[in-house]
Amino acid sequence: ETGVTQSPTHLIKTRGQQVTLRCSSQSGHNTVSWYQQALGQGPQFIFQYYREEENGRGNFPPRFSGLQFPNYSSELNVNALELDDSALYLCASRRTYQETQYFGPGTRLLVL
């Protein structure tokens, strides 16, 4: 069974730019969530996707957006990058009627 994978592993951007992060969910998992983890903090929920639609969102502005594809893979897009967007971005997947979610290795984003 393939686990959750994310790409790229590391990324450096400058303030004002846009970025797209990618996630492939674990086999059989159709619900995907994205989290932002600042250094020394716990992961903060950004949003969740199920059946290609966002069905839950945390306290993040609209410049954080996402997509889910028919194969359950997902993208996180961030526009107008700010210095505070520097963080580890985590993708997690689960089966719809199960609570436990499994995380990918994350993408480390640095905004200069």
Q: Does 43 bind another protein (CB under 8 A)?
A: yes
Task: Cis check for the bond before 8: say yes or no (omega within 30 of 0).
Answer: yes
2 belongs to the binding site for another protein (CB under 8 A): no
85 φ, ψ (degrees, to nearest 5) = -80, -10
Q: Does 41 bind another protein (CB under 8 A)?
A: yes
Q: What CA–CA distance (Å, rounded) separates 52 from 59?
A: 20
Site for another protein in 54-93 (CB under 8 A): 55-56, 58, 88, 90
> Pairing state of beta strands 10-13 and 107-111?
parallel
106 binds another protein (CB under 8 A): yes
Q: Does 18 engage in binding with another protein (CB under 8 A)?
A: no
Structure tokens of 21? 């992060």
Q: Minimal distance in Å, beta carbon 36 to another protein?
A: 11
Choose the stretch contacting another protein; rule: CB under 8 A; options: 14-22, 35-43, 68-76, 79-87.
35-43
What share of residues in the chain are helix, strand, coil (percent, to 5)? 5, 50, 45
Judged by the rule CB under 8 A, the positions of this chain that interact with another protein are 4, 6, 33, 35, 40-45, 48, 50, 55-56, 58, 88, 90, 99-106, 108
